[in-house]
Structure 1
Amino acid sequence: MDSRRILLVEDDVLIGMMLVDMFDALDLPEPAQATSNEEALAIIAAESIAGALVDINLGDEKGWPVADALAERDIPFAFTSGGGDVIPSAHAHRRLVNKPFRINDIESALNEFFAK
């Protein structure tokens, strides 16, 4: 398993596909993918990941449980959002990558993960 494997937590399939294409363009391994808190928490418990991009809005739920689980395991992550979200104070220091995504923003966030 590549030590640079990232978890993508994104409920929109098309956005997830676009992010996978960005990872490919950046010559990174295919990310683990989850569309809900439940799926993401199962991946975090079962796999070794180097970081995560966590969409704040996952259908009718927020990505806070995933953020808490990543923080507990000291796994770096950034939030993603289409805007208008307030990040809880416990995670206010986390990077926010706004949609629509630009490959430079994704690359910058991932490079921060790999530098840790």
Structure 2
Amino acid sequence: MPEDRRSLAGRHVLLVEDDYFIAFDMQRHFESSGAHVVGPVPSVRAALDLIAATPDLDAAVLDINLRGEMAFPVADALSERGVPFLFATGYDTATIPPRYAAHRHCEKPVEPDRIAQILLG
């Protein structure tokens, strides 16, 4: 098993993605690597509820546009808790507010191993 996949073992990873197939693929991949997937959830409200209810988040993957709703309130909540996250999106970096310039992003289609490397590597 590649080192990136081992680094997911035992980690709690929040997955915020509104595309069912992308969410399902990432969830399956992360779980096969030993991660505990929190979610996936398709909306800002559901993500914020999970963040409030889950004390042990190790990382998060956020789609930026969730059915027309931008995920930046989720990024704010994660930042307040010191949870590392990245944006997995079809948008370019120009749509990411300057306050998140230091956060990584992956353009879709994303490779789950690459996400693990960026988040936890």
Question: Structure 2 length normalisation: TM-score?
Answer: 0.83
Could you list the per-position Cα deviations for residues 44-79 of structure 1 after superposition, in whole angstroms to 9, with x for gaps in the alignment?
Answer: 001121111011010111100000011011111111
Could you list the per-position Cα deviations for residues 4-33 of structure 1 after superposition, in whole angstroms to 9, with x for gaps in the alignment?
Answer: 111000001111001012113323223332
CA distance in 2, matches of 1:9, 1:105: 17
Alignment RMSD (CA, Å)? 1.7
CA distance in 1, matches of 2:22, 2:37: 15
CA distance in 2, matches of 1:37, 1:95: 19
Q: Which runs of 5+ in 1 are unaligned?
A: none
1:12-91 matches, cutoff 5 A: 12-48=19-55, 49-85=57-93, 86-91=95-100
Runs of at least 4 residues of structure 1 off by over 4 A? Answer: none
Higher relative contact order by CA 8 Å / sep ≥ 6: 1 or 2? 2
Question: Structure 1 length normalisation: TM-score?
Answer: 0.86
In structure 1, the partner of 2:12 is 5
How many residue pairs end up in the alignment? 111
In structure 2, the partner of 1:92 is 101
Q: Percent identity?
A: 37
Q: Which moved more, 1:82-91 or 1:51-60?
A: 82-91
